[in-house]
A and B are shown apart, each in its own frame.
Chain A
Amino acid sequence: MNKKILIIDYGIGNLRSVYQAVTHLGYECELSNKKKDIENAYKIILPGVGAFGAAISKLKNLDLIHSIEKFKNKGNYLLGVCLGMQLMLKKSFEFGQNDGLNFVDGQVVNLNTIVKSEAEIPHIGWCKLENIKDSKNKIFKNIENEDMFYFIHSYYSKIIQKNDIEILYSIYNDSKFTSMFINENIIGVQFHPEKSGASGLKLLYNFLQL
Protein backbone atom coordinates (compact mmCIF):
# COMPACT_ATOMS: atom_id res chain seq x y z
CA MET A 1 0.00 0.00 0.00
CA ASN A 2 1.12 3.52 -0.79
CA LYS A 3 1.88 5.04 2.61
CA LYS A 4 2.24 8.59 1.42
CA ILE A 5 0.58 11.29 3.47
CA LEU A 6 -1.83 13.41 1.50
CA ILE A 7 -2.29 17.09 2.28
CA ILE A 8 -5.44 18.50 0.74
CA ASP A 9 -4.45 21.48 -1.38
CA TYR A 10 -7.61 23.49 -1.83
CA GLY A 11 -6.03 26.86 -2.38
CA ILE A 12 -6.14 28.09 1.18
CA GLY A 13 -3.66 28.39 3.97
CA ASN A 14 -0.01 27.78 4.44
CA LEU A 15 0.40 24.22 3.22
CA ARG A 16 4.13 24.45 3.00
CA SER A 17 4.67 24.44 6.77
CA VAL A 18 2.71 21.21 7.15
CA TYR A 19 4.51 19.71 4.18
CA GLN A 20 7.91 20.65 5.63
CA ALA A 21 7.08 19.21 9.03
CA VAL A 22 5.87 15.87 7.63
CA THR A 23 8.93 15.64 5.38
CA HIS A 24 11.20 16.54 8.30
CA LEU A 25 9.71 13.60 10.23
CA GLY A 26 10.80 11.25 7.47
CA TYR A 27 7.46 10.68 5.76
CA GLU A 28 6.69 11.14 2.11
CA CYS A 29 3.83 13.45 1.43
CA GLU A 30 2.05 15.01 -1.48
CA LEU A 31 -0.28 17.92 -2.02
CA SER A 32 -3.39 17.15 -4.02
CA ASN A 33 -6.89 18.35 -4.76
CA LYS A 34 -7.87 15.38 -6.93
CA LYS A 35 -10.89 13.34 -5.91
CA LYS A 36 -9.26 10.04 -6.79
CA ASP A 37 -6.14 10.80 -4.72
CA ILE A 38 -8.28 11.70 -1.72
CA GLU A 39 -10.53 8.66 -1.95
CA ASN A 40 -7.54 6.33 -2.19
CA ALA A 41 -5.29 8.08 0.31
CA TYR A 42 -3.63 6.29 3.20
CA LYS A 43 -3.77 9.21 5.60
CA ILE A 44 -4.94 12.79 5.11
CA ILE A 45 -4.14 16.14 6.66
CA LEU A 46 -6.65 18.92 6.10
CA PRO A 47 -4.94 22.22 6.87
CA GLY A 48 -6.45 25.68 6.71
CA VAL A 49 -6.30 29.25 7.86
CA GLY A 50 -8.61 32.15 7.12
CA ALA A 51 -12.38 32.24 7.01
CA PHE A 52 -14.68 29.20 7.29
CA GLY A 53 -17.09 30.27 4.54
CA ALA A 54 -14.37 30.80 1.96
CA ALA A 55 -12.75 27.48 2.82
CA ILE A 56 -15.90 25.37 2.61
CA SER A 57 -16.78 27.05 -0.72
CA LYS A 58 -13.40 26.11 -2.10
CA LEU A 59 -13.89 22.47 -1.06
CA LYS A 60 -17.34 22.54 -2.69
CA ASN A 61 -16.11 24.18 -5.87
CA LEU A 62 -13.44 21.52 -6.22
CA ASP A 63 -16.18 18.94 -5.55
CA LEU A 64 -14.09 17.36 -2.78
CA ILE A 65 -16.64 17.02 0.02
CA HIS A 66 -18.01 13.67 -1.11
CA SER A 67 -14.47 12.35 -1.62
CA ILE A 68 -13.45 13.35 1.90
CA GLU A 69 -16.58 11.63 3.26
CA LYS A 70 -15.78 8.50 1.28
CA PHE A 71 -12.23 8.50 2.64
CA LYS A 72 -13.47 9.01 6.20
CA ASN A 73 -15.96 6.15 5.91
CA LYS A 74 -13.16 3.75 5.07
CA GLY A 75 -11.81 4.35 8.56
CA ASN A 76 -8.46 5.85 7.55
CA TYR A 77 -7.04 8.65 9.67
CA LEU A 78 -7.88 12.26 8.93
CA LEU A 79 -6.25 15.15 10.80
CA GLY A 80 -7.80 18.61 10.59
CA VAL A 81 -5.54 21.46 11.62
CA CYS A 82 -6.89 24.81 12.87
CA LEU A 83 -9.57 25.80 10.34
CA GLY A 84 -9.27 22.22 9.04
CA MET A 85 -10.54 21.06 12.44
CA GLN A 86 -13.40 23.53 12.41
CA LEU A 87 -14.46 22.46 8.90
CA MET A 88 -15.20 18.98 10.29
CA LEU A 89 -18.00 20.30 12.50
CA LYS A 90 -21.67 20.60 11.59
CA LYS A 91 -21.97 24.36 11.43
CA SER A 92 -20.06 27.62 11.70
CA PHE A 93 -21.14 31.04 12.87
CA GLU A 94 -18.13 32.91 11.49
CA PHE A 95 -19.45 35.77 9.29
CA GLY A 96 -22.96 34.30 8.94
CA GLN A 97 -23.93 30.65 9.03
CA ASN A 98 -22.22 27.96 6.99
CA ASP A 99 -22.55 24.20 7.00
CA GLY A 100 -19.42 22.17 7.60
CA LEU A 101 -18.46 18.56 6.82
CA ASN A 102 -20.54 17.39 9.77
CA PHE A 103 -18.17 14.62 10.94
CA VAL A 104 -18.68 15.84 14.49
CA ASP A 105 -21.80 17.41 15.97
CA GLY A 106 -20.59 20.84 16.93
CA GLN A 107 -20.51 24.51 16.10
CA VAL A 108 -17.74 26.96 15.33
CA VAL A 109 -18.29 29.98 17.55
CA ASN A 110 -16.37 33.14 18.43
CA LEU A 111 -14.03 33.00 21.42
CA ASN A 112 -15.68 36.21 22.64
CA THR A 113 -18.67 34.09 23.72
CA ILE A 114 -16.56 32.42 26.42
CA VAL A 115 -13.66 34.69 27.35
CA LYS A 116 -13.76 37.84 29.44
CA SER A 117 -14.40 41.07 27.58
CA GLU A 118 -10.87 42.38 27.99
CA ALA A 119 -9.30 39.29 26.40
CA GLU A 120 -7.51 39.97 23.16
CA ILE A 121 -8.92 38.31 20.07
CA PRO A 122 -7.44 36.67 18.04
CA HIS A 123 -5.94 34.44 20.67
CA ILE A 124 -2.29 34.09 19.71
CA GLY A 125 -0.07 32.05 21.96
CA TRP A 126 1.05 28.79 23.52
CA CYS A 127 -1.17 26.55 25.66
CA LYS A 128 -1.07 23.17 27.32
CA LEU A 129 -3.60 20.43 26.71
CA GLU A 130 -4.97 20.56 30.24
CA ASN A 131 -6.49 17.08 30.49
CA ILE A 132 -3.90 15.20 28.45
CA LYS A 133 -3.05 12.92 31.37
CA ASP A 134 -6.55 11.45 31.26
CA SER A 135 -6.00 10.19 27.73
CA LYS A 136 -4.50 6.86 26.80
CA ASN A 137 -4.54 7.61 23.08
CA LYS A 138 -1.36 6.70 21.22
CA ILE A 139 -1.29 10.14 19.61
CA PHE A 140 -0.01 11.47 22.96
CA LYS A 141 2.93 9.09 23.25
CA ASN A 142 5.92 10.86 24.87
CA ILE A 143 3.93 14.05 25.34
CA GLU A 144 3.83 15.41 28.87
CA ASN A 145 1.46 17.68 30.75
CA GLU A 146 3.92 20.52 30.34
CA ASP A 147 4.12 20.36 26.53
CA MET A 148 2.72 23.50 24.92
CA PHE A 149 1.19 24.08 21.52
CA TYR A 150 0.83 27.17 19.34
CA PHE A 151 -2.63 28.64 18.78
CA ILE A 152 -3.80 31.45 16.53
CA HIS A 153 -7.57 31.73 16.21
CA SER A 154 -10.64 33.85 16.87
CA TYR A 155 -13.15 30.98 16.74
CA TYR A 156 -13.24 27.62 18.44
CA SER A 157 -15.05 24.29 18.12
CA LYS A 158 -17.94 23.91 20.51
CA ILE A 159 -18.75 20.21 20.58
CA ILE A 160 -22.46 19.50 21.10
CA GLN A 161 -22.80 15.73 21.05
CA LYS A 162 -19.92 14.49 23.14
CA ASN A 163 -20.66 10.76 23.25
CA ASP A 164 -17.64 8.67 22.33
CA ILE A 165 -15.64 11.72 21.39
CA GLU A 166 -12.45 12.42 23.26
CA ILE A 167 -12.14 16.14 23.91
CA LEU A 168 -9.04 17.96 25.07
CA TYR A 169 -9.22 21.47 26.29
CA SER A 170 -6.90 24.41 26.83
CA ILE A 171 -7.30 27.65 28.74
CA TYR A 172 -7.25 31.19 27.40
CA ASN A 173 -7.83 34.06 29.83
CA ASP A 174 -9.19 31.60 32.40
CA SER A 175 -11.74 30.14 29.96
CA LYS A 176 -11.69 26.55 28.74
CA PHE A 177 -12.00 25.91 25.02
CA THR A 178 -11.75 22.80 22.83
CA SER A 179 -8.19 22.44 21.62
CA MET A 180 -8.49 18.93 20.18
CA PHE A 181 -11.01 16.19 19.51
CA ILE A 182 -10.60 12.56 18.61
CA ASN A 183 -13.58 10.80 17.07
CA GLU A 184 -12.18 7.38 16.12
CA ASN A 185 -10.30 8.06 12.87
CA ILE A 186 -11.25 11.74 12.77
CA ILE A 187 -8.89 14.00 14.69
CA GLY A 188 -9.03 17.77 14.94
CA VAL A 189 -6.47 20.12 16.47
CA GLN A 190 -7.09 23.83 16.96
CA PHE A 191 -3.37 24.46 17.40
CA HIS A 192 -0.68 24.16 14.75
CA PRO A 193 1.42 21.04 15.43
CA GLU A 194 3.70 22.06 12.55
CA LYS A 195 4.45 25.31 14.40
CA SER A 196 4.60 24.02 17.97
CA GLY A 197 8.29 23.17 18.16
CA ALA A 198 9.35 19.74 19.41
CA SER A 199 5.99 19.15 21.14
CA GLY A 200 4.07 19.65 17.92
CA LEU A 201 6.43 17.45 15.95
CA LYS A 202 5.99 14.65 18.52
CA LEU A 203 2.22 14.81 18.13
CA LEU A 204 2.45 14.95 14.35
CA TYR A 205 4.84 12.00 14.37
CA ASN A 206 2.45 10.02 16.55
CA PHE A 207 -0.35 10.79 14.09
CA LEU A 208 1.80 9.58 11.21
CA GLN A 209 2.50 6.41 13.19
CA LEU A 210 -1.16 5.61 13.97
Chain B
Amino acid sequence: MAQRSNNSLRIIARLDIKNNYLIKPIQLEGLRKLGNPNEYALKYYKEGIDEIIFSDNVASLYKRTYLEEIILNATKKIFVPITVGGGIKSVKDVERILRIGADKIFVNTAAVDNPNLIKEISKEFGSQCMVVSIEAKKNDDTWEVYTNNGRERTFKNVLDWIKESIQLGAGELFITSIDKDGTKKGFDIELISNANKISSIPIIASGGAGNSQHCFDLLNKTKINSLALGSILHYNIASIKKIKKDLMEENFKVRIVNE
Protein backbone atom coordinates (compact mmCIF):
# COMPACT_ATOMS: atom_id res chain seq x y z
CA MET B 1 0.00 0.00 0.00
CA ALA B 2 1.25 3.46 -0.88
CA GLN B 3 2.12 5.80 1.92
CA ARG B 4 -0.64 7.74 3.65
CA SER B 5 -0.77 11.29 2.36
CA ASN B 6 0.20 14.12 4.61
CA ASN B 7 -3.25 15.71 4.54
CA SER B 8 -5.10 16.67 7.67
CA LEU B 9 -7.84 14.31 8.87
CA ARG B 10 -11.47 15.30 8.93
CA ILE B 11 -13.19 14.40 12.17
CA ILE B 12 -16.91 14.57 11.54
CA ALA B 13 -19.83 14.42 13.97
CA ARG B 14 -22.74 12.36 12.76
CA LEU B 15 -26.06 13.43 14.22
CA ASP B 16 -29.01 11.18 13.51
CA ILE B 17 -32.26 13.05 13.85
CA LYS B 18 -35.81 11.97 14.44
CA ASN B 19 -38.28 14.82 14.36
CA ASN B 20 -36.48 17.42 16.46
CA TYR B 21 -34.44 14.99 18.56
CA LEU B 22 -30.92 13.73 18.32
CA ILE B 23 -31.11 9.95 18.46
CA LYS B 24 -28.52 7.20 18.44
CA PRO B 25 -29.62 4.03 16.72
CA ILE B 26 -27.81 0.71 16.93
CA GLN B 27 -27.29 -0.94 13.54
CA LEU B 28 -29.41 1.91 12.21
CA GLU B 29 -32.35 0.66 14.29
CA GLY B 30 -33.90 1.62 17.60
CA LEU B 31 -34.49 5.14 18.65
CA ARG B 32 -32.87 6.30 21.82
CA LYS B 33 -33.61 10.02 22.22
CA LEU B 34 -30.63 12.02 23.42
CA GLY B 35 -31.64 15.67 23.23
CA ASN B 36 -31.63 18.83 21.16
CA PRO B 37 -29.49 18.33 18.03
CA ASN B 38 -28.61 22.03 17.80
CA GLU B 39 -27.15 22.00 21.30
CA TYR B 40 -25.03 18.97 20.54
CA ALA B 41 -23.90 20.41 17.20
CA LEU B 42 -22.92 23.74 18.74
CA LYS B 43 -20.96 21.99 21.49
CA TYR B 44 -19.07 19.94 18.89
CA TYR B 45 -18.35 23.06 16.85
CA LYS B 46 -16.88 24.79 19.88
CA GLU B 47 -14.77 21.73 20.70
CA GLY B 48 -13.25 21.73 17.20
CA ILE B 49 -15.27 19.36 15.04
CA ASP B 50 -14.27 19.66 11.37
CA GLU B 51 -17.67 18.99 9.85
CA ILE B 52 -21.21 18.04 10.84
CA ILE B 53 -23.57 15.54 9.25
CA PHE B 54 -27.28 15.70 9.98
CA SER B 55 -29.08 12.53 8.99
CA ASP B 56 -32.87 12.57 9.10
CA ASN B 57 -33.70 9.00 10.05
CA VAL B 58 -37.41 8.95 9.47
CA ALA B 59 -37.68 11.15 6.41
CA SER B 60 -37.38 8.47 3.79
CA LEU B 61 -39.72 6.15 5.65
CA TYR B 62 -42.53 8.61 6.24
CA LYS B 63 -41.67 10.89 3.33
CA ARG B 64 -41.25 14.07 5.33
CA THR B 65 -38.49 16.23 6.70
CA TYR B 66 -38.13 18.03 10.01
CA LEU B 67 -34.62 19.10 9.37
CA GLU B 68 -35.12 22.58 8.02
CA GLU B 69 -35.43 24.38 11.32
CA ILE B 70 -32.44 22.49 12.69
CA ILE B 71 -30.30 23.50 9.70
CA LEU B 72 -31.46 27.12 9.88
CA ASN B 73 -30.51 27.30 13.55
CA ALA B 74 -27.22 25.52 13.02
CA THR B 75 -25.99 27.84 10.26
CA LYS B 76 -26.42 30.90 12.45
CA LYS B 77 -23.78 29.75 14.92
CA ILE B 78 -21.79 26.97 13.31
CA PHE B 79 -19.13 27.88 10.77
CA VAL B 80 -17.88 24.53 9.55
CA PRO B 81 -19.34 22.49 6.67
CA ILE B 82 -22.76 20.98 7.20
CA THR B 83 -23.91 17.93 5.26
CA VAL B 84 -27.56 16.98 5.27
CA GLY B 85 -29.46 13.93 4.12
CA GLY B 86 -32.42 11.69 4.69
CA GLY B 87 -35.43 11.68 2.44
CA ILE B 88 -33.93 13.72 -0.39
CA LYS B 89 -35.67 12.62 -3.57
CA SER B 90 -35.22 15.33 -6.18
CA VAL B 91 -33.19 18.24 -7.48
CA LYS B 92 -35.87 20.49 -5.93
CA ASP B 93 -35.29 18.94 -2.48
CA VAL B 94 -31.57 19.58 -2.86
CA GLU B 95 -32.11 23.19 -3.86
CA ARG B 96 -34.26 23.76 -0.78
CA ILE B 97 -31.72 22.18 1.58
CA LEU B 98 -28.76 24.09 0.08
CA ARG B 99 -30.70 27.35 0.12
CA ILE B 100 -31.25 27.17 3.86
CA GLY B 101 -27.55 26.72 4.47
CA ALA B 102 -26.37 23.14 3.98
CA ASP B 103 -23.07 22.80 2.09
CA LYS B 104 -23.47 19.25 0.90
CA ILE B 105 -26.32 16.80 0.68
CA PHE B 106 -26.31 13.04 0.75
CA VAL B 107 -28.67 10.68 -0.97
CA ASN B 108 -29.13 6.98 -0.41
CA THR B 109 -32.55 5.47 -1.08
CA ALA B 110 -33.58 7.80 -3.90
CA ALA B 111 -30.24 7.32 -5.67
CA VAL B 112 -30.57 3.56 -5.56
CA ASP B 113 -34.13 3.83 -6.90
CA ASN B 114 -33.03 6.29 -9.59
CA PRO B 115 -29.24 6.42 -10.09
CA ASN B 116 -29.66 9.23 -12.60
CA LEU B 117 -30.52 11.51 -9.68
CA ILE B 118 -26.80 11.56 -8.82
CA LYS B 119 -26.07 12.88 -12.30
CA GLU B 120 -28.84 15.46 -12.16
CA ILE B 121 -27.77 16.81 -8.78
CA SER B 122 -24.07 16.98 -9.57
CA LYS B 123 -24.80 18.67 -12.89
CA GLU B 124 -27.02 21.27 -11.29
CA PHE B 125 -25.04 22.04 -8.11
CA GLY B 126 -21.60 20.56 -8.72
CA SER B 127 -20.26 17.18 -7.67
CA GLN B 128 -18.66 18.80 -4.60
CA CYS B 129 -22.05 18.84 -2.88
CA MET B 130 -23.25 15.44 -4.10
CA VAL B 131 -22.46 12.85 -1.44
CA VAL B 132 -23.65 9.31 -1.98
CA SER B 133 -24.54 7.61 1.27
CA ILE B 134 -24.13 3.85 1.30
CA GLU B 135 -25.53 1.62 4.02
CA ALA B 136 -23.55 -1.59 3.76
CA LYS B 137 -24.16 -4.97 5.33
CA LYS B 138 -22.10 -8.08 4.91
CA ASN B 139 -24.07 -11.02 3.53
CA ASP B 140 -21.99 -14.11 2.88
CA ASP B 141 -18.72 -12.79 1.49
CA THR B 142 -19.83 -9.53 -0.06
CA TRP B 143 -21.29 -6.26 1.12
CA GLU B 144 -24.80 -5.46 0.06
CA VAL B 145 -26.36 -2.01 -0.29
CA TYR B 146 -29.36 -1.38 1.97
CA THR B 147 -31.80 1.53 1.86
CA ASN B 148 -34.30 3.20 4.18
CA ASN B 149 -31.90 3.17 7.14
CA GLY B 150 -30.83 -0.38 6.75
CA ARG B 151 -34.35 -1.72 6.50
CA GLU B 152 -34.49 -2.78 2.88
CA ARG B 153 -32.24 -5.04 0.87
CA THR B 154 -31.35 -4.02 -2.67
CA PHE B 155 -29.22 -7.00 -3.75
CA LYS B 156 -26.78 -4.42 -5.12
CA ASN B 157 -23.09 -5.04 -4.47
CA VAL B 158 -21.48 -2.15 -2.53
CA LEU B 159 -18.30 -2.06 -4.61
CA ASP B 160 -20.26 -2.04 -7.89
CA TRP B 161 -22.49 0.71 -6.55
CA ILE B 162 -19.43 2.78 -5.58
CA LYS B 163 -18.07 2.56 -9.12
CA GLU B 164 -21.44 3.44 -10.60
CA SER B 165 -21.91 6.40 -8.21
CA ILE B 166 -18.52 7.84 -9.14
CA GLN B 167 -19.30 7.46 -12.85
CA LEU B 168 -22.55 9.31 -12.33
CA GLY B 169 -20.81 12.28 -10.67
CA ALA B 170 -20.69 11.66 -6.93
CA GLY B 171 -18.12 13.91 -5.21
CA GLU B 172 -17.82 11.97 -1.98
CA LEU B 173 -18.94 8.69 -0.39
CA PHE B 174 -20.42 8.37 3.09
CA ILE B 175 -20.21 4.69 3.96
CA THR B 176 -21.96 3.28 7.00
CA SER B 177 -21.45 -0.26 8.15
CA ILE B 178 -24.86 -1.44 9.34
CA ASP B 179 -23.16 -4.30 11.20
CA LYS B 180 -20.97 -1.92 13.20
CA ASP B 181 -23.23 1.12 13.61
CA GLY B 182 -23.81 1.99 17.26
CA THR B 183 -21.83 -1.01 18.52
CA LYS B 184 -18.74 0.96 19.59
CA LYS B 185 -16.70 -2.11 18.62
CA GLY B 186 -14.61 -0.52 15.88
CA PHE B 187 -15.03 0.36 12.21
CA ASP B 188 -15.61 -2.24 9.51
CA ILE B 189 -12.02 -2.06 8.31
CA GLU B 190 -12.43 -4.64 5.58
CA LEU B 191 -15.39 -2.81 4.06
CA ILE B 192 -13.72 0.60 4.13
CA SER B 193 -10.41 -0.79 2.90
CA ASN B 194 -12.07 -2.46 -0.11
CA ALA B 195 -14.04 0.70 -0.87
CA ASN B 196 -10.88 2.80 -0.54
CA LYS B 197 -9.02 0.68 -3.05
CA ILE B 198 -11.51 1.34 -5.85
CA SER B 199 -12.57 4.91 -5.04
CA SER B 200 -11.09 7.99 -6.70
CA ILE B 201 -13.16 10.31 -4.47
CA PRO B 202 -13.02 10.93 -0.72
CA ILE B 203 -14.69 8.47 1.66
CA ILE B 204 -16.23 9.21 5.05
CA ALA B 205 -16.20 6.06 7.18
CA SER B 206 -19.09 5.64 9.56
CA GLY B 207 -20.19 3.07 12.09
CA GLY B 208 -18.48 1.51 15.07
CA ALA B 209 -16.06 4.08 16.51
CA GLY B 210 -15.96 3.60 20.27
CA ASN B 211 -12.50 4.89 21.16
CA SER B 212 -9.39 6.47 19.65
CA GLN B 213 -7.78 3.09 19.06
CA HIS B 214 -10.60 2.21 16.65
CA CYS B 215 -9.70 5.33 14.67
CA PHE B 216 -5.98 4.39 14.55
CA ASP B 217 -6.88 0.85 13.46
CA LEU B 218 -8.85 2.10 10.48
CA LEU B 219 -6.38 4.85 9.54
CA ASN B 220 -3.42 2.48 9.68
CA LYS B 221 -5.05 -0.01 7.33
CA THR B 222 -6.57 2.40 4.80
CA LYS B 223 -5.68 5.75 3.28
CA ILE B 224 -8.96 7.47 4.02
CA ASN B 225 -8.94 10.84 5.80
CA SER B 226 -12.45 11.24 7.12
CA LEU B 227 -14.12 9.63 10.10
CA ALA B 228 -17.72 10.04 11.22
CA LEU B 229 -18.25 9.75 14.97
CA GLY B 230 -21.59 9.21 16.71
CA SER B 231 -21.92 7.31 20.00
CA ILE B 232 -18.40 8.12 21.15
CA LEU B 233 -19.30 11.83 21.12
CA HIS B 234 -23.00 11.72 21.99
CA TYR B 235 -22.41 9.54 25.07
CA ASN B 236 -19.36 11.58 25.97
CA ILE B 237 -17.08 8.55 25.92
CA ALA B 238 -14.33 10.83 24.61
CA SER B 239 -14.31 14.49 23.65
CA ILE B 240 -13.27 15.76 20.23
CA LYS B 241 -10.25 17.39 21.85
CA LYS B 242 -9.17 14.11 23.42
CA ILE B 243 -9.62 12.14 20.20
CA LYS B 244 -7.65 14.72 18.20
CA LYS B 245 -4.91 14.77 20.82
CA ASP B 246 -4.69 10.97 20.69
CA LEU B 247 -4.51 11.07 16.88
CA MET B 248 -1.77 13.70 17.01
CA GLU B 249 0.26 11.54 19.38
CA GLU B 250 0.03 8.78 16.78
CA ASN B 251 1.42 11.25 14.23
CA PHE B 252 -1.79 11.86 12.33
CA LYS B 253 -2.42 15.43 11.24
CA VAL B 254 -5.48 17.06 12.73
CA ARG B 255 -6.88 20.57 12.96
CA ILE B 256 -6.45 21.97 16.44
CA VAL B 257 -8.76 24.73 17.60
CA ASN B 258 -7.45 27.11 20.23
CA GLU B 259 -9.92 28.89 22.41
A interface residue numbers (CB < 8 A to B):
14, 16-17, 20-21, 24, 49-51, 118-122, 124-127, 146, 148, 150, 152-154, 171-174, 192, 194-198, 200-201
The contact of A122 among B100, B125, B128, by CB within 8 Å, is B128
> Is B127 in contact with A150, judged by CB distance below 8 angstroms?
no
A125-B202, A150-B50, A195-B80 known; 19 new pairs, CB 8 Å cut-off, are A14-B99, A20-B75, A20-B79, A50-B124, A50-B126, A50-B128, A120-B201, A121-B200, A121-B201, A122-B127, A122-B171, A126-B8, A126-B10, A171-B6, A192-B103, A197-B45, A197-B79, A198-B258, A201-B79
- For residues 221 through 247 of chain B, which have their beta carbon under 8 Å from a beta carbon of chain A? 223, 225-226
B7 is an interface residue with CB less than 8 A from chain A: yes
Q: 8 closest Cβ contacts across the A-B interface?
A: A50-B126, A16-B101, A148-B255, A126-B8, A126-B255, A173-B5, A120-B202, A152-B128
A124 and B202 in contact (CB under 8 A), knowing A14-B98, A150-B81, A173-B7?
yes
Residues on the A chain within 8 Å of B172, using CB: 122, 124
Kindly state the separation between the CA atoms of A198 and B255 in the bound complex, as whole angstroms: 12
* Residue numbers in B under 8 Å from A126 (CB-CB): 8, 10, 50, 255
The answer to whether A21 and B79 have CB atoms under 8 Å apart is yes
- Smallest beta-carbon distance B111→chain A, Å: 18
Looking at chain B, what size class is its interface with the partner chain? Answer: 35 or more
Give the interface of B toward A (CB within 8 A).
Answer: 2, 5-8, 10, 45, 48, 50, 75-77, 79-81, 98-103, 124-129, 171-172, 199-202, 223, 225-226, 255-258
CB pair B7 A197 closer than 8 Å = no
